[in-house]
Amino acid sequence: MNRRLLRFLPWLLGIALLVVIVRSVSLADVAALLRQLRLWQIGVLLLLNAVILATITGRWWVLLRGLGHRVPIVPLFAYRLAAFGLSYFTPGPHVGGEMIQVFMVEREQGVPRSDALAAVILDKAIEFSINLTFLLLGIAAILQWRIVPRETGQQAIGLAGALLLVPVAYLAATALGHYPATRLARILARRWPRFAGTAVTIDESEAQVGRYFRQQPRAFGWAIAITLLGWAVLIAEYWFMIRFLGVSLTLPQLVGALTAARLSILMFLPAGLGALEAGQAAAFVLLGFDPAVGISAALLIRLRDTTLGLLGLWWWGRHRLLAARQTDKHQPPITGS
């Protein structure tokens, strides 16, 4: 009973927060803002989001090519979408589905497990490093422009800085030939012998990450460039979204509102439930706008991400079902004596 309660507690907290925020704004105003969206405007937002998804998959594709594996990008897109679906509905900052990526490229594309894991490690390290760097820059800009109280901004910048230190320190350590995950895995393997096989895979993967910096600097640079392109399109998508809702933001206002949206992802709530809506409503109030604009933007983001997450989970479930049927079809029939 206690385990079930702990499992559903993040959802209950998110729903409670969502209810409080939604009740604090006029739903009629939110509906009016959403109704003014035109079909071509929705098409623009969908196109920009497709480009963002392409850059996310493209980074992974480039990293795998740097390891010598020419994997088609279309199946990689499906694997990445399935991983996003699992991560999105898991409490935490969009992590949890990475092993789907490792599993699928190993089983269906013939990539060795150590290489598959190395590519995913690099992919997430680059993603978190650049995302948190932009978040730090956003918070610093907010403090400079005095959009929020200094104490609140300093706490946020401290949290973002501490989180940024983890992926950056990891990339620096592996580039210099120090392998922290391998050391931890060996300690765990000595204590739990069953972990020995996993420790060997981690050792091989982390050594591969270290070699990547020395042997494939160009691929690593392309992965960073693709991520920066994705961020540029993400900023454009958010600006267009707010513009289509009838509000024109200045650069400081755009940075403040987008930073609030990105901060909500760091909350340990599934899908940022309630946190996204609260952050956007508060951001637009601080910027001098109707909180209904923030709630409308949050609902558009929520609709987009939930649709993508459910699509990824649907694909993953359907793919597993088809794989299980093929396995059963090749099983020899059981005959009596």
Q: What is the pLDDT of residues 18-53, one digit of tens each?
A: 888 888 888 899 999 999 999 999 999 999 999 999
Per-residue CA distances from 199 to 59, 117, 196, 232 (Å) = 26, 12, 5, 38
Q: How far apart are CA 228 and CA 72, in angstroms?
A: 22
Residue 120 tokens read as: 């995913």
> What's the chain's average pLDDT?
85
Q: How far apart are CA 265 and CA 273, in angstroms?
A: 9
Given this model, what pLDDT does residue 102 score?
92
Q: Which amino acid is at 183?
A: R
Band (336; pLDDT cuts 50, 70, 90): very low
Q: Between 175 and 82, where is the model more confident? A: 82
The reported pTM is 0.85
Read off the pLDDT of residues 270-283 as tens digits, 9 standing for 90 and up. Answer: 778 888 898 899 88
Q: How far apart are CA 254 and CA 304, in angstroms?
A: 20
Nearest of 9, 25, 69 to residue 270 by alpha carbon = 9
Given this model, what pLDDT does residue 21 score?
85
Band (173; pLDDT cuts 50, 70, 90): confident
Q: Count other Cβ atoms within 10 Å, centred on residue 144.
A: 11
Three-state SS for 97? coil
Percent over 70 (pLDDT), the chain: 87
Given this model, what pLDDT does residue 332 score?
55
Q: How far apart are CA 106 and CA 129, in angstroms?
A: 26
Q: What is the DSSP letter of 235?
A: H
Residue 308 pLDDT exceeds 80: yes
Q: How far apart are CA 95 and CA 88, in angstroms?
A: 8
